[in-house]
Amino acid sequence: MCANFKPLTLAQLQQLQLPVVGFSYAEEVYPAGTMPLLFKSPQGFEWREVMFGLVPKWAEDTNIAKHTYNARHETIFQKPSFQEAALKCKFGVIPVTEFYESKYINDKPERWGYAVKMGRLFLLQRSTKFAK
C-alpha cells in the first residue's frame, strides 16, 4: 500500500520519449499533493497537474484525498469513496521510480522505500475521477 512516491525524473521522461512536463512538481508526492499525470488529448499526449488521492463528489473538501489514495482490490467495491470510479472502470497508471510505505516494527511505523534498478520504473494503478 503506497503512502507516497517519487515520480519520473526529467531524464527518464526523455529516455521514454514522453512529452516534457510544462510545470514544476515535487520530487516526492504525498496524499493530497499534486503530481503530473499523462492524458491523451486530440493534440496527442499531454501532462496535467492532478491531486494524488480521490475526491468523491459528495466530499465537502479536498482533505479527504489524504484518506482516499489507496484501496485494496478485494474491497474497492465496498468503499463508498471508490465505488463509482471502480464500477465505471476509471483507472489510470502512475509511472514512479520509488514508492514508500509504512512497515510496523514493534507496533511503530517505519518508512520503507522500494526502488528499481537505474532507468526502470514501477507502474502504480490508480482510480480516476476528475472534478469539473
Indicate which CATH number applies to the domain containing 113.
3.90.1680.10
Mean pLDDT of 90-114: 84
Structural domain count of the chain: 1
Q: At 109, phi and psi to the nearest 5?
A: -75, 135
Residue with cell 516494527: 105
The answer to whether residue 131 sits within a structural domain is: no
Dmax (CA) for the chain in angstroms is 53
The answer to whether residue 132 sits within a structural domain is: no
The answer to whether residue 41 sits within a structural domain is: yes
Residue with cell 534498478: 117
The answer to whether residue 130 sits within a structural domain is: no
Share of the chain above pLDDT 90, in %: 10
The answer to whether residue 65 sits within a structural domain is: yes
Residue with cell 486530440: 42
Residue 70 has pLDDT above 80, yes or no: no
- Which sign, positive or negative, has the C-alpha torsion 35, 39, 42, 46? positive
Range of the domain at 90: 4-125
The answer to whether residue 45 sits within a structural domain is: yes
The answer to whether residue 56 sits within a structural domain is: yes
Of 85, 72, 97, 92, residue with least CA distance to 11: 97
Give every CB contact of residue 21 below 8 A, 6+ residues apart in sequence. 10, 13, 36, 47
Residue 66 has pLDDT above 90, yes or no: no
Residue 132 has pLDDT above 50, yes or no: no
The answer to whether residue 116 sits within a structural domain is: yes
Residue 29 has pLDDT above 70, yes or no: yes
